[in-house]
Copies of this chain bind each other. A is one copy, B any other.
Amino acid sequence: MLKLSKKADYGLMALKYLAEHPEPVALSAKDIADAYGIPAQLLAKILQQLTKSGLLRSHAGMNGGYALAKEARQISAYEVIHSIDGPFFITSCTKGANGCDLTPSCTIKEPLARVNETIAGVLKSISIQDLAEQEQPAGTPAQTLVTLTV
């Protein structure tokens, strides 16, 4: 069905939340989980993963928590999704290590690989800050993000 996992959703929400609440103190996983009503333990794992990927900085102990490791503008949705869900390929046979096992080289996925790159490009062009700047002023001119050529 071509959809993100809930984990990726949670991760994006959490980063957005962190971007919206700049850092007088670090926010704990529980803080964010409570704000959105999502399972705290699950979110904690996600944030740990994002920390391992270098998108967040963590601080243990009392008054510890998480903060963005970079500016919100510097973190793309792609990085978040990639960190949580791993590399994604729109084609089922990932053409990676073992290649495709279907007999005649599955010619479908060469064009679909371009679709894949397009999606990745779109996600790379969207930053956490874009997510945080939710209410776009009415008069703001739309910004071109991606132009796909085939």
Contacts and interface: CB of A to CB of B under 8 A. Distances in A.
A109 B150 CA distance: 28
Q: State the oligomeric state as a number of copies.
A: 2
A67 interface: no
A99 B37 CA distance: 15
Contacts of A81: 2
Interface residues of A, number: 52
Closest 3 CB pairs of A and B: A142-B149, A2-B88, A37-B103
Interface string A36-48: 1110000000000
Contacts of A88: 1-3
- Max chain B C-beta neighbours (<10 A), residue from A35, A88, A150: A150
Nearest to A38: B102
